[in-house]
Structures are given as structure tokens and as C-alpha cells.
Amino acid sequence: MTFQKFILGLVVAFGLPWLLLIVIPFGKMSNLEAVSFDEDEDGRVGVYSSDQQHYQFGSAVYGANGCYVCHTQLIRPTYAGSDMWRDNWAGQNKDADDQDTRRESVPQDYAKETFAHIGINRVGQDLSSVGYRLEKEAASLGLSPEAFIYRRLLAPRDFVGKHWSTCPSQPQLFKKASPFAKSQNVVTFENAEGELQAYVPKKEAKALTRYLLSLKKDNQVPASMSYKPAK
């Protein structure tokens, strides 16, 4: 093998994946075309835009602590997987108005984010619309959504039916406190040895919590962007 062929092989081996996985997707996401609703098909008019709130600091905490390694934020089109039919993953089967709000992810969902956490593995649940699930689970335990998430971050296996979880604890997002401290900000629980533990959430834990609760990607998209099967 000549040196010239060797260099050419390196360029192809590293340049082609870089082109296909970084340059082309970045170019497409940077130049998303506006998609309008069709009054006949969608029952409304206007241009589609994601209405989800964006908490950039919470998103940064999410990325810095490696949450994207085990969790995706990508509901695949129906032809590519069964995400749409997993309970509450893609939205609510029935919302407050008795509407089925499940849908696939679309590029515009990530347009306002500095970094799109689509994920690299799905060891845990997809988090595209996890805000609803967190609120529902918290209510079933008589906890506020914030208190429930703090407990999950500190002791992810400390709930009925969650003993199998491989999610790591995130104590670095909290400050150790006295178990006898009287404050609404103190999160208490018993460890495996039965010892009472107490922590106070840092600003990073609060930001991550707000970010997770904001993940509700279930707003209506134009029919021209949706692969959801007709009912």
C-alpha cells in the first residue's frame, strides 16, 4: 500500500462519517423550512412551531451528568419502531380534553435547543414526554413533582417496582443536611441500612427538575409532518 492510498483511506474512513453524521444533519437543522397547518386536514391554520418551554441550564445539567447515555428523547416514526404504542411514552393516550396527544418527534421539536438530547442508548425510558409521567407518579405517592424527582435522583431504587432500576444516584446535585432540619427544601429517605438521610437540592438539581417537568412534546403537528396511522 502506498502512502497516498493510506492517507486517502484515512480521509474516507474519518471524513465520510463526519460528513454524514455531523455536517449534513447540522446543515439541515440549521435551515429548517417552515411547515404550515392545512385547515382541511389539521382543522387549524398557521405555521408550526414547538411551544415547549426551554430551560437551557437544566438541559446543560442533563447533558453534563450523562442522562443522554441511557435515555433518549426521540419518538421514532411508526414505520421504524413501536414507540407510539408504549404507554405514555409519546404523550398522553387521553389528555384532559379526552384527546389522544401521542405523536412522533419532528426536527422542529429541537430547533430552540442549544443541544438536542436525542440520546445514544435506551437503557431507560424515553423522556420526550416524561413530564406527564413524573406528575402522575408523584400524585400517586402524595408527593409534589419536585419532591418526587429529588427522591428519584438521590435513591432511584427506593420506590415500589423500581428496585431493578440501573439508574445511578446523583448525590453531587445535593448538599448533605441534618435529618432533623426543618425545611421544605430538605429531602429525606432511609438508605439500605435503615439510616435516615437528608439532602438539600443545589441549583443544578432544581434546574434539572424544571427541565424534566417541561418535557411534554405532544403539541399538534401538521398532518404533512406526521407518520401516525390514521384512526
Beta bridge partners of 189: 197
Structure confidence at residue 157 as a pLDDT band (50, 70, 90): confident
Do 124 and 117 touch, CB atoms closer than 8 A? Answer: no
Sheet of 174-176, strands arranged across: 174-176, 196-201, 187-190
Q: How far is residue 156's CA from residue 169's CA, in Å, rounded to a whole number? A: 6
Has residue 231 got a pLDDT over 50? Answer: no
Q: Quick one: which of 158, 181, 183 has its CA closest to 169?
A: 158
- For residue 98, count other CB atoms closer than 10 A to its CB: 6
Q: Which alpha helices (DSSP H) does 89-177 contain, by range?
A: 130-140, 145-154
Give the model's pLDDT for residue 184. 66
Structure confidence at residue 201 as a pLDDT band (50, 70, 90): very high
Give the model's pLDDT for residue 60. 93
| Tens of pLDDT, residues 56-96 | 899 999 999 999 999 999 998 888 888 888 877 888 777 77
Q: What percent of the chain has pLDDT over 70?
A: 88
- For residue 224, count other CB atoms closer than 10 A to its CB: 12
Has residue 216 got a pLDDT over 80? Answer: yes
Do 153 and 169 touch, CB atoms closer than 8 A? Answer: yes
Has residue 37 got a pLDDT over 70? Answer: yes
